[in-house]
Structure 1
Amino acid sequence: MAAKTRGILHPAEQSRYVELTQHAPSAPLEAYVEHYWHVRWSVDGVYESKVLSHPNVHLASEPEGVLVYGVTRALFTRKLEGDGHVLGVKFRPGAFRYFSGAPVSTLTDRRVPAAEFFGPQADALGRAVQATADPAEAASLAEAFLLPRIPPRPDPDALRAAGLVARFTAEPALFRVSDAAATAGLSVRALQRLFSEYVGASPKWVLRRARLHEVAARADTAAAPIDWPALATELGYADQPHLIRDFTAATGHTPTRYTRP
């Protein structure tokens, strides 16, 4: 499958140091896994990879071990040095609730050894992944690891949460939680409880992050200067300064500074 780079800051620059490949899950795992991702890097010195994370939990087999990453609300920064690779499982929003045994919000902004959820077999998976140089084989190892661990049928509330996140992120101009709740046919409090239990981020954060992803994507692909006031209006910001403040707080750069080579 073609690699999706939405959320990666300066993806063209990163591609000079990092090779990203993604693989779709098999049919039995489609309700749980969005895709498997594999990054391989070769860096002379240090390169900082920066990502505006999505509302997903990840299982990552890294050189240092196997970790579960909850939703990361701040800018995710990873310093890459030398050569290495990581295989990740991007779970669908809501899907990790079954494995966590607790509200997914308990994992927010945390990374936890995968053995706490999957036992010592998680460490064996990590060793097997690090022993292969083939991204497809690494994805197959993760697939074989997860298949016997999924429940007989998906949780309907997890599927509902995933569907709502997909809808909200596909409509970056949807920016009021009250409107999002009405779209979902839920009260604001019920929507907030659903997202705390299954997603690990609030509806407000998901809506805001979708807008920031859109701003970054426009900045990364623009062939001509961007009309920032028009974009602010399109995405539901009160005005251009509001967009600037939001983007700067999330990335550390103003939108115009971000677009400079």
Structure 2
Amino acid sequence: MSPRGVLHPDENALFVDTATHDPAPEAAPFVEFYWHVRWRTPKPHDTKVLAHPNVHLVFEEPEPLVYGVDRGLFVRRLEGEGHALGIKFRPGGFRSFTDGPIIDLADRRVPASRFFGPEIADVHRAVLDSDDPAAEAEAFLLPRLPAKPDPLAEEVAEMVGRITDDPSLTRVAEAARTLSMSTRTLQRLFAEYVGASPKWVLRRARLHEAAARADQGGTVDWAELAADLGYSDQSHLTRDFTAAVGTSPAAYARA
């Protein structure tokens, strides 16, 4: 089953198999889950994803990479057969592994050796050759976790959950009031720990829902959906969706 955010998931599932694995209790404050993707394609296939506000450590050929939050449309071309194992960190969960704010990683792919040292090269091969790559990756990660989670990182993860799960929150100022802080403080925390602005996080959650509704098939009342998602009108939803995906929601649903 394709995770939320993967565009045209039914088509993608014809070529790509995705499995997820929960982290061990010691890793849970930092890691949302491990994902393992296998693909077999008769011809090149572009997987397109509206990414979430998470940093990923990905074991893939030719080298392991750290992916910052991709604020645009993430596109990965898959060819032939292959697989990759990813560690999806909770919002804020990667902050302890870097010496700068997470916003510095936005829209970037950085060699994982920068954060975990040259020894990750040996682990990279072991992960990709393992029958249980998630367990292999976790065995590498566990001894490198901080002795204690950063309490502020945990708070930020909860903030992201609250504002993405509440459809009534459509503006940053509203989210800041709900979280009992100033807009500037919220923006600063998201730059430091999340790697995307609160406005982007709010907008991306609504676009995930719009894409999911379109992928369900059937007729979608876009004006009604726009209202449900807190847009001022249908045209506002159409502009946001088209800017992110490259096509209008109605055209996406027909594709």
Q: TM-score range by the shorter chain?
A: over 0.9
Matches within 5 A, 1:169-208: 169-208=164-203
Matches within 5 A, 1:1-261: 5-132=3-130, 134=131, 137-222=132-217, 224-261=218-255
Q: Please give the root-mean-square deviation of Cα atoms over the aligned residues, in Å.
A: 1.0
**Structure 1: which 5+ runs fail to align?**
none
What per-residue deviation string (whole Å, max 9, x for no partner) do you get for residues 124-149 of structure 1? 121112213x3xx1000111011001
Q: What is the DSSP-based 3-state SS (H/G/I as helix, E as strand, rest coil) of the residue aligned with 2:26?
A: helix
How many Å apart are 1:4 and its aligned residue?
Answer: 6.0
Is the 1:105–1:196 Cα contact (8 Å) retained in structure 2?
yes
Is the 1:172–1:214 Cα contact (8 Å) retained in structure 2?
no
**Structure 2: which 5+ runs fail to align?**
none
Q: Tell me how far apart the structure 2 counterparts of residues 4 and 162 of structure 1 sit (CA, whole Å).
A: 23
Is the 1:173–1:211 Cα contact (8 Å) retained in structure 2?
no
Q: Tell me how far apart the structure 2 counterparts of residues 172 and 77 of structure 1 sit (CA, whole Å).
A: 27
Task: Give the residue type in structure 1 aligned to 2:239.
Answer: R
What per-residue deviation string (whole Å, max 9, x for no partner) do you get for residues 19-44 of structure 1? 10000001001000000001000011
Q: Tell me how far apart the structure 1 counterparts of residues 9 and 145 of structure 2 sit (CA, whole Å).
A: 33
Is the 1:9–1:216 Cα contact (8 Å) retained in structure 2?
yes
Is the 2:19–2:36 Cα contact (8 Å) retained in structure 1?
yes
How many Å apart are 1:122 and its aligned residue?
Answer: 1.4
How many Å apart are 1:173 and its aligned residue?
Answer: 3.7
Q: Tell me how far apart the structure 2 counterparts of residues 249 and 192 of structure 1 sit (CA, whole Å).
A: 22
User: What's the TM-score, normalizing by structure 2?
Assistant: 0.98
Q: Tell me how far apart the structure 2 counterparts of residues 173 and 130 of structure 1 sit (CA, whole Å).
A: 43
What per-residue deviation string (whole Å, max 9, x for no partner) do you get for residues 226-257 of structure 1? 11111111111111011111101100111111
Alpha-carbon spacing, 1:47–1:4, altered in 2? closer, same or farther (3 Å): closer
Which structure 1 residue ranges, 4+ long, deviate > 6 Å from structure 2? none
Is the 2:2–2:13 Cα contact (8 Å) retained in structure 1?
no
Q: Tell me how far apart the structure 2 counterparts of residues 221 and 24 of structure 1 sit (CA, whole Å).
A: 27
In the alignment of these two chains, the number of paired residues is 255
What per-residue deviation string (whole Å, max 9, x for no partner) do you get for residues 180-212 of structure 1? 001111100000010010000000000000000
Q: Tell me how far apart the structure 2 counterparts of residues 129 and 172 of structure 1 sit (CA, whole Å).
A: 39
Identity %: 56
What per-residue deviation string (whole Å, max 9, x for no partner) do you get for residues 27-81 of structure 1? 0010000000010000111000000000000000001110000000000000000
